[in-house]
Structure 1
C-alpha cells in the first residue's frame, strides 16, 4: 500500500503511531506523534489505519536524488580529512540587528555520516518544535533564530539525531542531547569563542565527539551533561585568589513613564506598561553585559502592576534574586536586583 502525506499510521514493531508529514528518500517517511515529535521510519514498518481525507492534498511517494532541506539554509561543506572523526556541534551566535535581539543557532555535522535531526525547545507550558531536517556529511546548517525572550523562557533545547549513509557501512545508534538554558550565560562574552566551524564567535556545545582508534569521548548523554557542568563551573584561578577585587557598579533606572517619553498623551495603559518593560529589559541586558553588581529599578507605588510585572520577569525569565531597595533612599517604590 502506498503511504501518503496525511495518512494516519501505526508502528508495526513498536507501540504508538501518528501522522505522516513528509516523504523522505530510501522508503523513509517522517511520522509526527501526538506530542508533536517527529520520527523518521521505514515505510515497511508502518500500518495505515486511516487514509488522508480526499479534500486534503495528497503528495505521491516520489523521491528525487535531492534531500528536502532548504538550499538557503544548508551551507558549504567543510574542507575535511578522510578520517573516522565524528564531531557533532551546536552553536549560538549573538544577532543584534535593527529591532532584533537574539541568537542564531547552528548545527554542525563534522562527520562522514548524513543525519536527520529534530530540535525542540522545552518551555514551562510544553514543547515547541524548532526544526527537523536532513543534514549532509561535513556540512553545517542554520537551524533557527531564538529571540531573547525565548532564551529567557526556555528550559532546555533537546536535539535528537539519527545517523545514516556512512561510506564505511558503520551503524551508529541515534542520540539525544539536552542543552540546559541558563539565560545569564548567553550574555557572558567570555563564553563566546573562536571556533573552526562558524565565522563569528559562538557559544559552543559538543553534542558528540568520537575518534575511532584513538579512544572515544562525549559518547553518551551523561558525558555530555558532565562536560556542560564543567563549562558552567570553570576551574578556579588560584593566582587571583588574593588579588584586589574591583567593586562592581550599580545601575539605576527610573521607570516612571514621564522619564521615558516626552508625552503620554494618547498612550493606553498597556502601551505605557510595554514601554516600561522594554526599558527594563534593555537595562538588564546592559547590566549583565557590563558585569554590574546591582540594578535599582525605580517603579513607584501606584497600583502595583509595573512592580508585579518586573518581579515576575526577574523570577521566571532572569532567575535572579531581588528585594526591596533601601527604604531611606527610595521608600516603597524601588526593587534592588542582585547579579
Structure 2
C-alpha cells in the first residue's frame, strides 16, 4: 500500500492512531499522534484509516432550507489548527457558505501535481485534508486547490475556484480566530475572496495620457 504525508493511519500492533508526517530511511515513517509526538514505525506495521477525519461527536448539519437561513455566497476557508508547542498541525477546508463543495487538493512539485485529497464538503461543514509537523513549517506543501460550488437553490453563477496556496511561517505570527463551524481556533485563510482589481488599465491610461508629446 502506498502512503503519503497527511494520511491517517493506525498501528497494527498497538492501539495508536496518528498522521504520517515524515518518511525516513529503511522503510520507516514518522507518525504524529494527538499528543504531538512523532513516533518512528515500520511501514508494514501501519494500516490506513479510511474516512473524512471528522470528529466522533460531529452531528449532521441541518439543510439550509430547513432552517430558513439566507443564502450565503462566500465563506470558504483553509484553516490550520494546532499548537506549535504540541507539534501537529491539521489542515481543514471549512465551508461557511450555502454551497456544497467538491474539492481537490494537490501538492505542487515543479510542473507536476501530486494528488493529496478529494472530497465533498457540505454547506456549513468541514473536512481535514492534510496534517504536518510544525517543526517542518518551512517545508509545508504549496497546495493546488480546486473547488466546484453547487446548490439546488437559486444563486449567482460562480466559476470554479483554482488557487495555489502555501502557509508560510510568517502567516503563523498572526493570532488564531475562533471558527464557529469547526468550533476551534485556527489560522484562517479565505479561498473564495474576490480578486482585487488594482486598476492596471486605468493606470496604463493615466501614464499614456500624461506622456510628454514628442517633437
* TM-score category of the 2 structures, normalised to the smaller one: 0.5 to 0.7
Match of 1:84 in 2: 71
Is residue 175 of structure 2 the alignment partner of residue 191 of structure 1? yes
CA offsets per residue over residues 70-91 of structure 1, 9 Å max, x none?
3653854279762121211110
Which of these two proteins has the greater Rg computed from alpha carbons? 1
Q: Equivalents in 2 of 1:93, 1:120: separation in Å?
A: 20
| Partner residue, 1:136 | 122
Deviation at 1:116, TM superposition (A): 0.7
Give the alignment's Cα RMSD to 1 decimal.
Answer: 3.4
1:73 and 1:116 map into 2 onto residues whose CA distance is 17
Give 5+ residue unaligned stretches, structure 2: 1-49, 199-215
Displacement after TM superposition at 1:95 (Å): 5.0
The number of residues matched between the two structures is: 142
* 2:53–2:127 contact (8 Å) kept in structure 1: no
Matches within 5 A, 1:284-295: none
Structure 1 residues 109 and 84, CA gap change in structure 2 (3 angstroms): same
Cα distance change, pair 171–158 in 1 and its aligned pair in 2 (3 A): same
Alignment-derived partner of residue 90 in structure 2:
104
| 8 Å contact from structure 1 (residues 120, 129) kept in 2 | yes
Call closer, same or farther: CA 1:191–1:130 in 2, change over 3 Å: farther
Q: Tell me if 1:73 matches 2:50.
A: no
**2:161 equivalent in structure 1:** 175
**RCO greater where, 1 or 2, for CA within 8 Å and sep 6 or more?**
2
Alpha carbons 1:116, 1:135 under 8 Å: kept: yes
Task: Say whether 1:223 aligns with 2:196.
Answer: yes
Tell me how far 1:205 sits from its aligned partner: 0.7
After superposition, the Cα gap between the structure-2 partners of 1:94 and 1:199, relative to the gap in structure 1 and judged at 3 Å, is same
CA distance in 2 between counterparts of 1:71 and 1:152 reads 26
Query: Under a length normalisation based on structure 2, what TM-score does the superposition of the two structures give?
Result: 0.53
Q: State the secondary structure of the residue aligned to 1:172.
A: coil
